[in-house]
Amino acid sequence: MKKLFVLFALMVIAFTSYAQVYKMYKTRNYHNQLRLNTMTGEIQQIQDDGQSWEICSAREILGDKEGRFRLYETQNMWTFIMLDTYTGKNWQVQFSVKGEDYMFAAPINIFSLAYPEKSSNWTNRFQMFATDNMWTFILLDSYNGRLWQVQYSTQDLDNLFCIPINKYELVENNERCIFSIQPLTSMYQYYLINDNTGDMWKFQWSTKGDDYRWIERFR
């Protein structure tokens, strides 16, 4: 029995110590995949004939934590959004079969949304959620409940933005994921939920302007 326990413990340690530095993402073009370095944010387009191209250079050259960067597929088959889950920075990533001139990583938000700034293992702190509007995502700080509306565009790269829905922390001095969101019947409205306490808020995003974005405590 003791030997079995030791073997099980070793298996658990081996499993938890495994980390995926490089992650492959399928695209809707059957001949191409994207390879993401989850530590640095470097992205390569890999073609099944052996060719490859760098779409995005490393965003965090000294990155040393696996799983820091993630790619989110959009409804546009050529476009993904890359998120730095530590800071909330994000980029519109475009791959192409037309050549390198059509491959790029355009910044949507270049400023860290995590404060106070410090060196910490914040993996999965920031999370993104697709909405029923193909151009819009919701960005959540799962530590303190702050929310942003993230917009991408394939027609006008000057129309990329990350706008706050609520500017203030709902919980202070927390360093683990406790907030989640759930959609409502209206495509523009969601619940924000503190999974620890059960506290809930209702919020709305909008394409009409700041006056239509709001959040209120649910009672």
Is 13 a member of any domain? no
Q: What's residue 8's pLDDT? A: 44
Contact 104, 45 (CB under 8 A): no
Specify if 9 maps to a domain: no
In the chain, how many domains are there? Answer: 1
Report the distance separating Cα 153 and Cα 34, nearest Å. 20
- Where helices occur in the chain by DSSP H, the ranges are 2-17
Residue 65 forms part of a structural domain: yes
List the domain range (segments joined by +) for residue 25: 21-218
pLDDT, one tens digit per residue, over 33-46 is 999 999 999 999 99
**pLDDT value, residue 5:** 44
Is 214 part of a structural domain of the chain? yes
What percent of the chain clears pLDDT 90, i.e. is strictly above it?
A: 82
What's the confidence (pLDDT) of residue 180?
98
Length of the chain: 219
What pLDDT was estimated at residue 122?
A: 83
- pLDDT band at residue 93, thresholds of 50, 70 and 90? very high
Q: Is residue 176 part of a domain?
A: yes
* CA atoms of 72 and 81, how far apart (whole Å): 5
What is residue 64's predicted lDDT score, i.e. its pLDDT?
86
| Residue 116, pLDDT score | 67
Q: What is the pLDDT of residues 153-206, one digit of tens each?
A: 999 999 999 999 999 999 998 989 999 999 999 999 999 999 999 999 999 999
Distance CA 48, CA 141 (A): 37
- pLDDT given at position 119: 58
Give the mean model confidence (pLDDT) for residues 116-134.
85
In which band, very low, low, confident or very high, does the pLDDT at 87 lie, cut at 50, 70 and 90? very high
Residue 61 has pLDDT above 50, yes or no: yes
pTM of the shown model: 0.89
Is position 11 within any domain? Answer: no
Rounded to the nearest 10°, the torsion over CA 153, 155, 159, 160 is: 30
Query: 7 lies in a domain?
Result: no
Let me know if residue 8 belongs to a domain: no
Q: Mean pLDDT for the chain?
A: 91
Q: What is the mean pLDDT of residues 105-128?
A: 86
